[in-house]
Amino acid sequence: MRFEPLERRDLLATMEGSVFSLSTNLTAAGLSGDLTASIDWGDGSTGVGSVSDTGVGPLQARFDYSLDDNNFFDTQAKRDLLELATSMVVSQLGDQLTAITPGGDNSWSMTLVHPATGVQDFEISNPTVAANELVIYAGGRELTGTSLGVGGPGGSSATCATPGFCSDVATRGQTGAAAEPPTDFGPWGGSLSFDTDTNWHFGETTIGLDNDESDFLSVASHEVTHLLGFGASLAWNGLVSGAFFTGATSAAANGGSNVPLSGSGHWENGTTHNGQEAAMDPSLTNGTRKLLTQLDLAGLDDVGWEIVDTQLTVAADHTYADNGEYDVDVVVTGSSGGSVSTSVSETVTNADPVVSAPGNGTVLVGQTVSFADIGLLTDAGFGSSESFTYTIDWNDGSPDTTGTATIDQAGSPGILTSGSFDATHIFSSTGAYTVSVTVEDDDTGTNSDTFQVTVLDVSWHNSANVFDVNADSAVSAVDALIIINDLNANGSRSLSTPTANTVPPFIDVTDDGYLSPLDALQVINFVNDQSSNPEGEGGREPVGVGVKAASNPLRNSLSLSTIQPVPKRRHATAIITERVTPTAILCRRPADEMWCIRDIRRPDDSQSSPADVWEEQHDNSTFDLQLDSDLDQIIEELLG
């Protein structure tokens, strides 16, 4: 495995419970086959990532085993492994090599070290080499000493009828190879030979690679790199100065310093790049695998090869359950060989909880009030250690209520953690109180919400809002209906002393200790006035019971100002708001009561005597005052 530099990036902080999108770059040098990425997210979980494609050069190798006299490559599996090792190196080269096509007076011979015998300058006459093709003769023999393999480029000689043919043979179209000194390299190919007495591990992976075995894939890729001119070309030799290699690309990969050499053709033994031993030092430890590093490819770059872009991108998404600093480790593995890794640091910030208080409400003074779910909370975090405390400020001078919230549902990616808490309280004084509910998580993140509590005396009358019968902080026809239903069930009556168990509803709208249809009518008039005049301007006063709708210019000109209850009949003082005179009175006779308008006065003529329009004996008269038809219908139903 090769390790890339530990990458400490200033990433935009990700919040717990939010999706963190990882995108990190690595080099694919030394990888072969299908690439897969495994990720350790640093929070105890692992995953996989997508891997982008990398650049692949145009070069191909053609293998010739005709000189393998010792049958080293006696199985297809061995040949496949050699071809894989070669592809891992050659695929990273972007050069375009011209073809060598002998014919006529153009002839040439390739020379090489015979892979089975070791004979130098073994000659093969007039082979054809295709464009972008490297020809490799491979075999095995007993090597001297501890050598595991030998490899190098071949030589050539040519007879040229045309100058271009000789150039093709010598440089393969790489103009720098003909410079003085050479700055490029363009071989036709070369030969490889492997020791026949070595205990080899012939495997694409390191599974089964024992400590007494030498890894063939590592040795083969090493020798192919020599065949390409690493330590074995004029371009290389021109960059050797004493015991150092001075190639600019190699020095840059080596932290800006020339690379120390072992002999003239290898990096110094033990040379590393980003913590991984270089493939092109002179030794390989049994039981281990090492493939090309960026430093090794840099050596080929300095020889003149064009290295294709070997960068790949690993991308993946992850949701962190809790805040913290996480080291994310990424490993990319080639199915046919090699692996690279990198690490990035991710900061995950805490997400404040969100709390919701209940709606506004009305309670009674001195009573124990139970607030179920006084706080409902959610939190994006879902770590196993998530916990929440709450504080309730009643804003009435009493001590705050504190405690630990109950987690009702543990969160997960895409699902919020949710919780709740209850409370009880006694308000000792009437008034309006703003109650504040605050939640704090285990990482000191807080959030607050408020609601209003109106505290009333124990009474049939809602002193905070006389028309809000059911104490829901809103006035609607429902409030009138509550009184109407009570009247239908129990009739008009004097009200007993209330208790905390009997109120609300606050049915005594007029606050006279007596329940009658007038209490409902007060609410009806208020609702009607609000719906007719939502801005609260120009509204008419409540209209008296018993007035029947009719078409007349007096529409909305009379308003009921005072009503006093008397046994068996009701009377009212109505005020004429315009200088007109009503024409008639309607008196209705319910089962046990009589209702009518009694006294009419002109507001601009207070000295005039009230007109006595009491018509006790007539029940079919009409009072010429028009009302809205829907209100008239409600009144008729109320009295009917």
Predicted confidence (pLDDT) per residue in 419-455, tens digit: 999 999 999 999 999 999 999 999 999 999 999 999 9
Cα separation of the two ends of the chain? 96
CATH numeric code, 2-54+310-349 = 2.60.40.650
Name the DSSP letter for residue 461.
Answer: S
**Euclidean distance between CA atoms 457 and 455, whole angstroms:** 7
Residue 372 identity: A
pLDDT digits (tens, 9 = 90+) for 154-184: 999 999 999 899 999 999 999 999 999 999 9
- Chain Cα centroid distance, residue 251: 42
**Euclidean distance between CA atoms 149 and 141, whole angstroms:** 9
Name the DSSP letter for residue 234.
Answer: H
With 0-12 / 13-18 / 19 or more C-beta atoms within 10 angstroms meaning exposed / middle / buried, residue 639 is middle
Name the DSSP letter for residue 132.
Answer: T
pLDDT, position 610: 34
pLDDT, position 559: 32
Ordered by start, the domain boundaries in the chain are: 2-54+310-349, 60-242, 354-455, 458-537, 558-628
pLDDT, position 43: 95
Q: Tell me which residues of the chain have a pLDDT lower than 70.
A: 1-12, 30, 336-337, 533-640
Question: Candidates 1.20.120, 3.90.1420, 3.40.50, 1.10.1330; correct CATH number of 458-537?
Answer: 1.10.1330
Domain 354-455 has CATH 3.30.430.20: no
Residue 628 identity: D
HSE-CB of 77 using CA atoms within 13 angstroms: 6
Q: Which residues of 608-630 are buried (b: 16+ CB within 10 A; e: fewer)?
A: eeeeebbbeeeeeeebbbbbbee
pLDDT, position 621: 35
pLDDT digits (tens, 9 = 90+) for 535-579: 544 333 333 333 332 333 222 333 333 333 333 333 333 333 333
Comparing 2-54+310-349 with 354-455, is the CATH topology the same?
Answer: yes
3-state class of 477 per DSSP?
helix
pLDDT, position 606: 42
**Euclidean distance between CA atoms 625 and 614, whole angstroms:** 16
**Euclidean distance between CA atoms 414 and 489, whole angstroms:** 53
Element (H, E) at 348: strand 339-349
Contact 9, 346 (CB under 8 A): no
Residue listed under structure tokens 């009694």:
598
HSE-CB of 309 using CA atoms within 13 angstroms: 8
Task: Check whether the bond before 181 is cis (ω within 30° of 0).
Answer: yes
pLDDT, position 340: 84
What does residue 452 show for φ and ψ, rounded to 5 degrees? -100, 135
pTM over 0.85: no
- DSSP for 135-172? EEEEEEE--STT--EEEEE-EEEEE-SSHHHHHHHHHT
**Euclidean distance between CA atoms 357 and 179, whole angstroms:** 83
Task: Check whether the bond before 505 is cis (ω within 30° of 0).
Answer: yes
Rg (CA), the chain: 49
* CB within 8 Å of 268: residues ≥ 6 apart: 243, 259, 260, 261, 262, 281
pLDDT, position 533: 67
